[in-house]
């Protein structure tokens, strides 16, 4: 992939995770979370209006970052969120262990009905003595993609288990038919099978860590963001964020991780940045945050912007060759 300079586009709200988008008619809806989810809309990503805070119908322990959405044929919008409860380690209250929940909306994400948690790490997988300043365990930092046959939603999740053999990017799936009642339905990929439950189950990462997340010099993929590239005609592991920005890889969703089919490298950004994502231009192709062509725009949140500032995402145009 080649990068070239492009006009700067600022997202209307703070960004601290993937920023999903969907179309309803000729209107694009975008979600930015940090951690509260804000929604903006417009004729395209270049014409977004002021962001408005969205709301859940219930309260929860910790923020709920909307990381992925899917607009169903009947108009229902399904969303999945990253939640960070506190405290999980009484002696170190700053640490958390993320978990993943599901929600749905009937007003394009203005209000959300929480459907409960669907993916959590095993209860005994916390490591409160970790040298990590954020996570003592958990499942989070993810994306969700529906396969082309509309059989399963696939979750590409970051796993922060105390055991490094279960750290990295792992995969889980839930039947499309269970989208309105997903709690207890997902299965995780473990040792060659979809054998482990979504809540408390073990994983076999498809991208294992190089250096344990619990070490100061952790080296691991995280924050998967996958899209369909119509030019390459394959599912691209588009920007697996990593401390050293190593290339991601691609695989078709219909195949099991044991049988990935043909693969091509999809290089990530060369310079330090996070929350990288891809998107289209003016023309309507749904869903925009999960489908691109030969030329697309990559959104990058600069490292120099701190959590207390107003985030923006710089845009560079990428061309697949």
- pLDDT tens per residue across span 138-196: 999 999 999 989 999 999 999 999 999 999 999 999 999 999 999 999 999 999 999 99
State phi, psi for 290 to the nearest 5 degrees.
-125, 10
State phi, psi for 123 to the nearest 5 degrees.
-60, -30
Q: Of 221 and 28, which is predicted with more confidence?
A: 28
Q: What is the CATH number of the domain that holds 196?
A: 2.115.10
Tell me how far apart the alpha carbons of residues 107 and 269 are, in angstroms, rounded to a whole number.
Answer: 35
Tell me how far apart the alpha carbons of residues 307 and 296 are, in angstroms, rounded to a whole number.
Answer: 27
Q: 208: helix, coil or strand?
A: strand
The residue segments making up the domain with residue 187 are 2-319
Q: Which pLDDT does position 9 carry in this prediction?
A: 81
Q: Which residues pair with 190 in a beta bridge?
A: 193
Residue 221 contacts by C-beta under 8 Å, 6 or more apart in sequence? Answer: 158, 168, 169, 207, 209, 240, 241, 242, 246, 248
Q: DSSP readout, 173-185?
A: EEEGGGTTS-TT-
Residue among 97, 94, 98 at smallest CA distance from 80:
98
**Residues 254/176, Cβ–Cβ less than 8 Å:** no
Tokens 């288990």 sit on residue: 161
Question: Alpha-carbon Rg of the chain, whole angstroms?
Answer: 18
Q: Which pLDDT does position 227 carry in this prediction?
A: 77
State phi, psi for 302 to the nearest 5 degrees.
-65, 145
| The pair of three-digit structure tokens given for residue 131, joined into one six-digit string | 């040298």
pLDDT tens figures, 68-102 = 999 999 999 999 999 999 999 999 999 999 999 99
At residue 297 the predicted structure's pLDDT band, cuts being 50, 70 and 90, is low
Tell me how far apart the alpha carbons of residues 42 and 295 are, in angstroms, rounded to a whole number.
Answer: 21
Residue 198 contacts by C-beta under 8 Å, 6 or more apart in sequence? Answer: 118, 119, 120, 172, 174, 184, 185, 186, 187, 188
Structural domains in the chain (count):
1
Residue 218 contacts by C-beta under 8 Å, 6 or more apart in sequence? Answer: 132, 209, 211, 212, 243
Q: 316: helix, coil or strand?
A: strand
Tell me how far apart the alpha carbons of residues 209 and 37 are, in angstroms, rounded to a whole number.
Answer: 29
């Amino acid at each position: 992939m080649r990068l070239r300079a492009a006009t700067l586009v600022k997202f209307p709200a703070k960004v601290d995770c993937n920023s999903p988008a969907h179309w309803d008619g000729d209107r694009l809806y975008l979600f930015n979370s940090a951690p509260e989810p804000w929604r903006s809309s417009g004729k395209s990503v270049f014409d977004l209006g002021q962001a408005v805070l969205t709301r859940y119908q219930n309260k929860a322990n910790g923020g709920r970052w909307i990381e992925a959405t899917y607009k169903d044929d009947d108009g229902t919008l399904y969303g999945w969120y990253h939640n960070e409860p506190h405290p999980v380690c009484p002696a170190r209250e700053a640490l958390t262990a993320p978990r993943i929940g599901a929600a749905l909306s009937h007003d394009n994400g203005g209000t959300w009905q929480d459907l409960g948690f669907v993916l959590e790490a095993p209860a005994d997988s916390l490591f409160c003595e970790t040298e990590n300043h954020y996570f003592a365990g958990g499942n989070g930092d993810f994306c969700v993609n529906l396969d082309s046959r509309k059989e399963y939603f696939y979750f590409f999740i970051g796993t922060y288990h105390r055991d490094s053999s279960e750290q990295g990017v792992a995969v889980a799936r839930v039947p499309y038919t269970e989208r309105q009642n997903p709690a207890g339905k997902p299965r995780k990929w473990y040792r060659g099978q979809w054998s482990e439950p979504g809540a408390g189950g073990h994983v076999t990462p498809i991208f294992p860590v190089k250096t344990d997340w619990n070490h100061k010099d952790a080296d691991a993929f995280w924050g998967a963001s996958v899209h369909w590239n119509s030019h390459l005609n394959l599912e691209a592991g588009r920007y697996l964020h990593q401390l050293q920005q190593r290339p991601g890889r691609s695989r078709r969703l219909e195949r099991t991780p044991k049988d990935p089919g043909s693969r091509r490298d999809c290089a990530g950004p060369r310079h330090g940045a996070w929350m990288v994502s891809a998107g289209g231009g003016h023309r309507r192709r749904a869903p925009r945050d999960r489908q691109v062509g030969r030329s697309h725009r990559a959104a990058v949140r600069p490292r120099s912007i701190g959590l207390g500032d107003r985030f923006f995402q710089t845009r560079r145009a990428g061309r697949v060759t």
